[in-house]
Amino acid sequence: MNKRTNNEQTSKWISLLTSALVTAVLITLLTGCDDDEIRAYQSPKSDPYSEPKLLIGMDGMGGMDGMQAPASTSKNTIGWHVPDDWIEDPNASSILTAAYIVQGETGDARITVTKLGSGGGGVLANINRWRGQVGLDPIESIDAQEKVSVQVDDQTCDLIDLVKPENAGQTMIDRMMVVMLPRPQDGLTWYFKMTGSVDALEEHKPAFITFVESIKFGVEQAPTEPNEPASAGDAGE
């Protein structure tokens, strides 16, 4: 009888002690440790310093989104001159690398720059998709598409000009000009696209071609002002 009470008492005291201990630990934890002080230490040698360069025309910039943020590799850098009267489109969606709006006498045109992985459905499929958007019939082979050659950074590419046919009713887009620039070494294809009314595109065509021809890959230094290259503007928002 007596022994049992003893046992019971011992266990109670143990429990009490435990609870006291837990409380004590909790209190210490909560009051202690806040390492806010200046520290000095030696670290292993870091990479040699070089004057910082802006990675211009980089896509994405959608804040610091862990999954989506672009790699800060310099090999994908691209730069271009923006004609003076082009305005950066502040409402560009995040998948666009850059977007500009240009106003003219015959109407506005919108210029977009997109970078897609090598997938994207193939060249012909894309051409047919665009043809569908302006109300043209699909073509059976790429050769059937009329195109003009343009020189981009020592690379010859095709400029495709798609115009809505007379007899087509309402279409999503009246006219579009596209330059497709494959970069197999990066596994990417760049798309430079101008859309707008038939006349407006005629008016802005020379500027568009100048713009496309100003494109340079692997540029290290931004072209000097005032022709500042595009840098997306929505980081972190």
Partner 1 sequence: MKKVTLWLPLVAVLLSVFVLVRPIMPKQTVGAYNLDALGKLPVSAGGRTKPLDSVARNSLMIISDRQTATANNQRISAMRWMADVISQRPETESYEVFRIDHPDVRSLLGEVPDKQKRFSFNQLLMHSQAINEQLALVRGIDPKDFTIYQKHLMELADHVQMFQDIRHRLTPYMLPPLSPGENWRPLAPEMVVVEGHPDPSVAAQYWKKILDAYQQQNPQEFNQQVAEYTTLLNSDMPAVMRKAKFEVFFNNLQPFYQGTVLYVLAFLLGAIALLASNIKNGTLAIALRRAMVSVIVVTFIIHTFGLAARVYMQGYAPVTNLYSSAVFIGWFCVAMGLFMEWLFKNGLGSCLSAVIGFVTLIIAHNLADGDTMQMMQAVLDSNFWLTTHVIAVTIGYSAMFMAGVISIVFVALAVHGQCVSEYRGRVLATLVGASLFTLVAIALAIVLTLFAIPQFAIRSVLLLTGYTSLFYVIFVGAVYLLSLLPWRPDTSEVQKILGKMIYGTIAFALLFSFVGTVLGGIWADQSWGRFWGWDPKENGAVLIVLMNALILHARWGGMIRMRGVAVLAVFGNIVTAWSWFGTNMLGVGLHSYGFMDKAVIWMLIFVGSQLAIMTAGMLPIDKWKSHPTQKRRQKAAAEAPQTT
Partner 2 sequence: MNKSIKKALAPIASLKLTVLLFVLAMILIFVGTIAQKEIGNWQVVNTYFRSLWLMMPIGIAGIKVPFVGGYTIGGLMVINLIAAHIVRFKLDEKRIGIILTHAGLIMLIVGEVLTGLFAVEWQMRIEEGQTVNYAVDIRSVELAIVDPSPEDHDDVVVIPESILERHNNGLTIHDDRLPFDVQVLTWMSNSSVLAPRFAPPDGRTNPARSGLGRTIQVIPAPPVSGVNMNGLDAPSAYIRLSKKGQDLGTYLVSLNFEFIADETRQAVTVDDKTYLIELRYVRDYKPYSITLIDFKHDKFIGTQIPKNFSSEVRLVDPTTGEDRPALIYMNHPLRYRPLNSRGETMYQSSYIGDTTTVLQIVRNPSWIVPYVACAIVSIGLATHFGLMLIKFVGRARR
Binding flag, residue 102, partner 2 (CB under 8 A)? no
Query: Which of 121/206 has CB closer to partner 1?
Result: 121
Closest CA to 210 of 152, 163, 165, 127: 152
Distance CA 62, CA 110 (A): 21
Per partner kind, with CB cut-offs from 5 to 8 A, the member of partner 2, partner 1, none near residue 129 is: partner 1
Should residue 129 be labelled a site residue for partner 2 when binding is judged by CB under 8 A?
no
Residues in CB range of 155: below 8 A, 6 or more apart: 181
- Closest approach, Cβ 94 to partner 1, in A, equals 8
The residues facing 155 across adjacent strands are 152
Calculate the CA dihedral of residues 167, 170, 171, 172 and round it to 10 degrees.
Answer: 170
Beta carbon nearer to partner 1, 77 or 145: 145
Binding pattern for the stretch 71-100 against partner 1, x by CB under 8 A and - elsewhere: ------------------xxxxxx----x-
**Residue 235 lies near partner 2 (rule: CB under 8 A):** yes
Whole-number minimum distance, CB 123 to partner 2, in Å? 17
- 37 sits near partner 2 (criterion: CB under 8 A): yes
Closest residue by Cα to residue 103 from 84, 78, 123:
84
Site for partner 2 contains 184 (CB under 8 A): no
List Cβ<8 Å contacts ≥24 apart for 208-212. 208/109, 208/111, 208/177, 209/150, 209/159, 210/81, 210/83, 211/80, 211/81, 211/82, 211/83, 211/86, 211/111, 212/150, 212/152, 212/159, 212/179
Give the residues lining the site for partner 1 (CB under 8 A): 89-94, 99, 121-125, 128-129, 132, 138-141, 169-173
Give the residues lining the site for partner 2 (CB under 8 A): 5, 8-9, 11-12, 15-16, 18-19, 22-23, 25-26, 29-30, 33-46, 48-55, 58, 60-61, 63-74, 88, 90, 187, 222, 228, 231-237
